[in-house]
Amino acid sequence: MTNLSPTTRPHARGFTIIELLVVIAIIAVIAGLLLGGVAIVKESAKESQATTVLTNLMGNAGMYETKTTKPIGHLTDTTMKWGIGSWLMNAPGREQQKGAITAGYINDENDENPSYTYFLAKIDMDMERANLFIKPNEFLMLMGGCATMAFLLVLAMGKGLLLAIPAGILGIFLPKLYIKFSIWRRMGKAEKELAQVLDTFASCFKSGYSFSRAVQQVAEQYDDPWGTELAKVSAEMNFGSSVEESLVGLTKRIPQSDVAMFVTAVLIQRETGGNLGELLETLSKTVRERFKLMNKVKALSAQGKLSAFIIFMIPFGLASIYSAMFPEVMMNFFHHPIGWGLMTLAGGCQLVGGFVLKNIVTLEV
């Protein structure tokens, strides 16, 4: 083997570590997108479960009847009497109800691009769940702006189109990831406070409050999200919406099975009578016990999650160390097709490994 002289040995360009960090960031964001997609699918499954709980109970009680189209929030949605629009759940009939969610934008019968309209409607619902006052068209403009800024920023760093184009593509998803994170954080807080909210409702009903007065009283005692969402329910009832329609809107903005059970209890009690205060106290105890079990499972799986995170980050740490110690060797990965192929293969393996580890350490309660 011929030894390379110092003059013929490849030299390292500047920003070697920066280039490596950019590649690591791209792989990490792609992994986040894929794992986030899995989380979104699981969240959709939870929405389906919440909706199924409500509709099945209403159907068993003989109270599930199609009702006229009523405006709820920003959208016009076909509601059910003491039920919920089937467009929220992954169940048979969702395609037939797709026109309902889009009716607030254009007439679905004459819609030349129903997928785009449905996409706008989903963005609008996400804005409501995140409690952000952004119109769908403005959100699309924000996505385009983030993509353009990421593309131009990478070009300004002198990295070329090879990295600028992926950066622009990733920039498109940044606003969507922020919205999903906001929804996740807000729904998590709503889930934690639900038992206390149910206790407050029970106290109000035992004190002789009417339902509308109890909703207003509870809304004044809590911050976002329950204060905000119950204030919306109170405002809808004050402006002429029925209790059923207002509570249907609540289950859409907070799509959780426990909230669906709360709505079911209220609506059945309004039809059949009974002590709603005691019923909500029992439901509150059930929610607390389930939440304790969920926290216990999280504590038991924390060590496994930490181990999975460390295993996932080891290749990136080794790559950073080798880049600092042997920049000439690491530069071959950036300046040779085989190097890019190896990094692509390694990144794909990392994504698959991260997905597998995520499913191993994630336990549903």
120-146 pLDDT, tens digit per residue, is 888 888 898 988 888 888 898 998 898
Q: Is residue 284 part of a domain?
A: yes
CA distances for 144 relative to 32, 115, 150, 171, 355, angstroms: 20, 19, 10, 8, 28
CB neighbours (10 Å) of residue 66?
9
Q: Is residue 236 part of a domain?
A: yes
* pTM for this predicted structure: 0.62
Q: Is residue 227 part of a domain?
A: yes
70-94 pLDDT, tens digit per residue, is 333 333 333 333 333 332 333 333 3
Helix count and strand count (H, E) for the chain: 12, 2
The answer to whether the beta carbons of residues 26 and 167 sit under 8 Å apart is: yes
Domain range enclosing 265: 192-291
Q: Is residue 180 part of a domain?
A: no
Q: Is residue 269 part of a domain?
A: yes
Q: Is residue 276 part of a domain?
A: yes
The answer to whether the beta carbons of residues 108 and 124 sit under 8 Å apart is: no
The span from the first CA to the last CA of the chain, in angstroms, equals: 61
Structure confidence at residue 105 (pLDDT):
43
Question: What's the CATH code of the domain at 203?
Answer: 1.20.81
251-280 pLDDT, tens digit per residue, is 999 998 889 989 998 998 888 888 888 889
Structure confidence at residue 189 (pLDDT):
92
Packed helices 161-206 and 136-156: angle between N→C axes, nearest 10 degrees: 140
Q: In total, how many domains does the chain have?
A: 1
Q: Which two tokens stand for residue 15?
A: 């920003």
Q: Is residue 207 part of a domain?
A: yes
Confidence of residue 46 (pLDDT cuts 50, 70, 90): low
**Cβ neighbours of residue 280 closer than 8 Å, sequence gap 6 or more:** 198, 199, 201, 202, 205, 262, 265
